[in-house]
Amino acid sequence: MALRDLILDAWTSIAYKTPLKDEIEARRSGYQAKSWLPDRDRRRLAAYLILAAYGSNVARSFISDGDDTLENREYGDAALIIDQVLAHLLGESQEIVVPGAELAEQEDDEDADLAQSDDDKDARRISREVAERLADRQEFLRQWAEDIHLTLRLVDGEKNSVQYGDGVYLLGWDSKAGRPTCAVMDPGFYFPVLPDSIDTYAYPEKVHFAWELPPEDSRDGKTRLRRITYELRDLVETVDIDDAGELVVTFPENTTLDKNQRLVREYPWAKGAPSFQACYLTDATWILDDIDDSDIDALSLEHASFQYDADGNRMEDHDLEIDFLPVVHVPNTPPGGHHFGQSSLAAVLQLLDDLQNADTDAQRASNTTGSPIIGVSGTKIGGDPTNRGGGGRKLVVRGGEVWELGADGTLHTVDTSDQLAELREFVGSLRDRLSTNSRLPAAVLGTMDPSKVPSGYAMQLSFGPLDAMIRQMRLVRSVKHPLILKIAQRLYQANGVLKDGPTPRAEIRLGSYLPSDQAGTLELVATALDAGLISVETGVQMLVDVGFPVDDIAAEIALIQSRDFKGAGLLADATGDGAAVAKYLGSKYTEGLTPAPSLNLPPGPPDGPPDNLDA
């Protein structure tokens, strides 16, 4: 490939494979993409095809075209990488959290009367009311997530992100269930029309989902193309001519004209801030033979048939009465201006190829080692030993069989055990390189002998590359996952289920993912607490992070303090405040306990320097 033909993008590391090579070779190899695909997406979909083959253990189809293709061995190394990266990305738990909701669980401050003014008391009360509303919204979203099995959808969507580099979620309103639904879309169906902007992170304002419907699914036996388009554009009136030849102007629902005679609409989540835009949906189907090789951006609606929703609305430029695209694209890595992410397999595909070849060679060597090649010379077994032209029987190696070779007969075997040992060592070195370059330590891939781990601290150090990779991947999700919950809330508002008002931020908190040395962490926390270097809250949080079964940190601390008589004694000696000691231990019986007396200290020195500095 000439240097001028080099393309640097998310799929450069896969470009040595046949489907991504030049068009002539791709056509000859049978990987020519569909004619309706935009040119900008052909390379991406070819990469998805290759990555799907690796994840399904049929990547040998892209290694050689000879009859020996089926003999290539694939032992699931690519699938293992995908599964392990996915498991560590999602962590041990996935929890919906609305920041601020945790304040509603705190007990009322018993010293609230010490507020300096009535305004302080009002502010304290208002903030608690806000926290309670956030807690209600958090519980509402958790129930919605449970109803639609959001966690399982996250597993499907994030597996697409890890394997292909891109995951796509499509949200919509389910009128039968009365709630938003979240569909995981195949990234190969996703065709965004990217904006021509210097801001490469800008969201597209038009997105197509397109796929072919096989002929057996239609009555006439013809292949069809279905395209669902979401487009964000300005609100406009519809102009038509009635039967009398009069112009009829129809304005979109719930719209008004502003002072500049421009159509605007107030959405429930942005009261007082009218919007000029709306999202329009078109769901159409074409017979593939009628599209004249036009790509999906240029398909004519004249030859299309349209879908209808549950209310009988024709899905042609249908106003969804929202001002956003209900689509969330999750790249696996920061897109870096390309919009699309990079697969976790991309950087190690050639390593996986070499590992397949080495495994195949090792398997062939093991055949000749277990059933060695044997040569017999000087006689015919089963014939007359002196009659070299006499007949003999075919030799088959069987256990316990005795061959009479005669005086001149000799037996030779081909020993390939040395080559097999060398191949096994080479396979081991490839696995070590694969572990390093995929940033998955041997302990994660299951290839480490636990008895050979020098210490828990050494094992923790080996997780450094994995930790950096997962943090980077979660950084992308920290931006994208809240969009799913934001869109769900706004769909509820648009359909009158939730009240009007700003949409509070909600997050999907992903749990711990690193194997941990619990005994070492426990010893560290105990030492640090005894030395007064960390707080009890920090210590308990450290224990939670390594897997100790603590559901509620605040409740756990209260239980610890209720039995900490040594700490209570030190508090009593330091303050002499019996009520404070009882509160520390969690006791409600403080009646009759004497608070610590106030200290009457002598007055301090007067302000400024003394008059006589020489004294």
Q: pLDDT, tens digit, for every residue of 78-137?
A: 999 999 999 999 998 899 999 999 888 765 544 444 444 555 656 556 688 899 999 999
Handedness of CA 78, 84, 88, 92 (dihedral sign): positive
The proportion of the chain whose per-residue pLDDT surpasses 70, expressed as a percent, equals 80
More confident residue, 393 or 90: 90
> Cα-flanking dihedrals φ and ψ of residue 365, to 5°?
-65, -35
Does some domain include residue 48? Answer: yes
The answer to whether 232 touches 204, Cβ cutoff 8 Å, is no
Q: With H, G, I as helix, E, B as strand and everything else as coil, classify residue 423.
A: helix
The pLDDT value recorded for residue 326 is 98
The answer to whether 346 touches 14, Cβ cutoff 8 Å, is yes
Does some domain include residue 41? Answer: yes
User: Closest Cα partner for 72 from 364, 445, 487?
Assistant: 364
More confident residue, 238 or 208: 208
Question: Among 53-57, 234-238, 373-377, 449-453, which stretch is predicted with the lowest mean pLDDT?
Answer: 449-453
**pTM of the full structure:** 0.80
pLDDT reading at 428 higher than 80: yes
Does some domain include residue 52? Answer: yes
Q: How far are the Cα atoms of 292, 500, 502 from residue 268, in angstroms, in the given order? A: 43, 5, 8
CA distance 289 to 256: 44
More confident residue, 522 or 408: 522
Does some domain include residue 160? Answer: no
Boundary-marking domain end, from 75, 97, 123: 75
Token pair for residue 146? 């449970």
The pLDDT value recorded for residue 472 is 95
What pLDDT band is residue 375 in, cutting at 50, 70 and 90? confident
Write down the mean pLDDT value for the chain.
Answer: 82
What pLDDT band is residue 63 in, cutting at 50, 70 and 90? low
Residues in the chain: 615
**pLDDT tens profile 260-310:** 889 999 999 999 899 999 999 999 999 988 887 778 888 989 889 999 988
Q: How far are the Cα atoms of 49, 75, 356 from residue 421, in angstroms, in the given order? A: 35, 19, 17
> Cα-flanking dihedrals φ and ψ of residue 367, to 5°?
-65, -45
Q: What is the mean pLDDT of residues 519-523?
A: 78
**Per-residue buried b or exposed e for 216-234, using 16+ beta carbons within 10 Å of the residue's own CB:** eeeeeeeebbbbbbbbbee
CA distance 12 to 338: 12
Does some domain include residue 541? Answer: no
Q: With H, G, I as helix, E, B as strand and everything else as coil, classify residue 95.
A: strand
Point out which residues pair with 239 in neighbouring strands.
249
What pLDDT band is residue 591 in, cutting at 50, 70 and 90? low
Does some domain include residue 27? Answer: yes
- The runs of H, that is alpha helices, within 148-294 are 150-164
The pLDDT value recorded for residue 173 is 96
* CB atoms near residue 93 (< 10 Å): 10
The single-letter DSSP state of residue 245 is S
* CB atoms near residue 313 (< 10 Å): 13
Boundary-marking domain end, from 75, 107, 125: 75
Does some domain include residue 22? Answer: yes
**pLDDT tens profile 527-536:** 998 888 888 8
Boundary-marking domain end, from 47, 75, 103: 75
> How many domains, the chain?
2
More confident residue, 327 or 117: 327
The single-letter DSSP state of residue 2 is -
Q: With H, G, I as helix, E, B as strand and everything else as coil, classify residue 250.
A: strand
CA distance 37 to 191: 9
Q: With H, G, I as helix, E, B as strand and everything else as coil, classify residue 356.
A: helix
Does some domain include residue 389? Answer: yes
Domain that holds residue 408: 373-414
The secondary element (H helix, E strand) that includes residue 613 is none
Which position has the token pair 């009535």? 118
